[in-house]
Amino acid sequence: MALKPIYMLTYTRFSKISQQLCRYLIILAAMSAPISTMVCSIACVGIIVTWLLSGQVISGLKIAYQHPVGKAILIFVGWLLISMFYADTSAQTKLTTLLSWQKLFFVFILLGFFYQADWQRRFVYSYFIFMSLAALISLLCWFVKFGTFDQSPGIIMTNYVAQSIALIAALLCAVFLLNKPDSGVPKAYLWLSNALFVINIFIISPARSGYIALPPALIFAGIYFYGFKKLPQLIAILFSIIMIAGLSSSNLQQRIKLGLQEQTSYQTSASETSIGLRMIFYKNTMELISQNPLWGYGTSSFESVYSHYAAAQSSDWHGGKTGDPHNQYLFIWLENGLVGLILFGFYIYYALRVGWYHPAYGQIAAGFLIAICASSLFNSHFKTFPEGNLLAFFMGALLALPPKSTKAGLD
C-alpha cells in the first residue's frame, strides 16, 4: 500500500516534466521551422512523444474539440478523408497527400495543450528575440555579401521565401508588443527590430511572397489596434513605406519588373519562367475545376488529373506536370471541390474570429494567418514545410484558450 503514494508522486512529477519539455519543444519547433528542416522535424517528433507522456492527452483532446477552430479542423479533415475515396490514385499517394496536411494535427493538439498565458507569452518573446538576432545577422551577412547554401547575400534561413515569412511573423510580434503597455521591452528596441525586419523583407530578400504578405497583415494589425477610423492614415503610412522601400531596393524593383515581364510573355516564351508556370497552372487548373466544381476529383488527385490534362494541351513546357498549382485555394478546389474550399474557409474564419477576440496573444496569430492567406494566392503555404509548420505553431499556441473560454465559444 505504501508504494501507491510513491508511484503517484513519481508519475505526477514525470507528467509535469513531460508537459514542460513538450512546451519548450513547441517553441523550438516554431523558431527552427524556417531555418532547419532537420531540427524542426526532430522537435516535432519530440512534441508528439512528450505530449503522449504528459498525462494531458485525453483532457487536451477534449479541450481542442470544444475549441471553434478545433471543430473546424475536424470537419475539414473529415471531408479530406471522405473525398479520398473517390480519387483515382494509389493508396500510397492518398496517404502522402493526407500527411502533407499534418500541420493541422499540430494546430489541433496545441489548442488543447498550450492555453496557459505564461507559456504563450514565453512563445511570443522567445520567437521575437530569436528572429531579431537572425535579422541582425542577416543584415551583417548582406553587407559582406554572404549567403548560406549558395543563396543570395543575407539569406541565412532555408530559402528567401521562408526568411521573409518568418520575419513577417516576428514583425507582428513586435507590433503587438509596441501596443502592450506592460510588455517590458524598451520601445526603442522594438522600433529598431521593426526596421530590421522591414529592411530584410523589402531590401535583402527577393521573395515576392513577402511583398504580398506583409501589407494585409499590417493593415489587419492596424485596424485591430487603431480602429477602422484610422484606416486611411494606416494605408497612407503603409503605402509610403512600400514606396520608400521600392525606391531604395534594387531587389524589389527587379523582382517586380521581372514578374511583370514573365506574366506578359508566358504564352510565347520558349523557356519556362516562375510567373509563366503559375499562369499556366492557374489556367489549366481552372479549366479542370469548371468540369467538376462541386465535389472535385478527390484528395491526392491533383498531380494525376492535372498532368494528363496539361500534356494533352501542349507538348512543350506549357504541358509539364505538377503536383502543386502554386495557389492553395485552387489546389483544394480541384481536389476537394467547392465543398472542401468552403470548409477550409470556415477554418480560416473561426481562426480569425478567435484571434480577434482572444484576451492574450491571438491577434498575432490572426495577423500572421492573414499574411499566409495572401501569400497562398501564389503558393501553397498552408502545406509547405517552413511556412506551413510555422503557421501551425503560431495558430495552435496563440489561439489556444482556457477550457472555460472554449466552452463559452467566445460569445
Task: Fill in the amino acid letter for 364.
Answer: I
Confidence of residue 6 (pLDDT cuts 50, 70, 90): low
**Comparing C-alpha atoms, which of 82, 400, 396, 332 is closest to residue 388?**
396
Q: d(Cα 142, Cα 165) in Å, to the nearest integer?
A: 18
Q: Kindly report the pTM of this predicted structure.
A: 0.93
**Span 343-387, pLDDT tens digits:** 999 999 999 999 999 867 999 999 999 999 999 999 999 999 999
Q: d(Cα 122, Cα 103) in Å, to the nearest integer?
A: 22
On whether the CB atoms of residues 269 and 261 are closer than 8 A, the answer is no
What is the percentage of the chain residues whose pLDDT exceeds 70?
Answer: 95
Cell of 42: 526532430
Mean pLDDT within 41-63: 96
Whose grid coordinates read 507590433? 175
On whether the CB atoms of residues 343 and 75 are closer than 8 A, the answer is yes
Q: d(Cα 342, Cα 108) in Å, to the nearest integer?
A: 19
Cell of 66: 470544444
Element of type H or E holding 34: none
Q: d(Cα 90, Cα 97) in Å, to the nearest integer?
A: 11
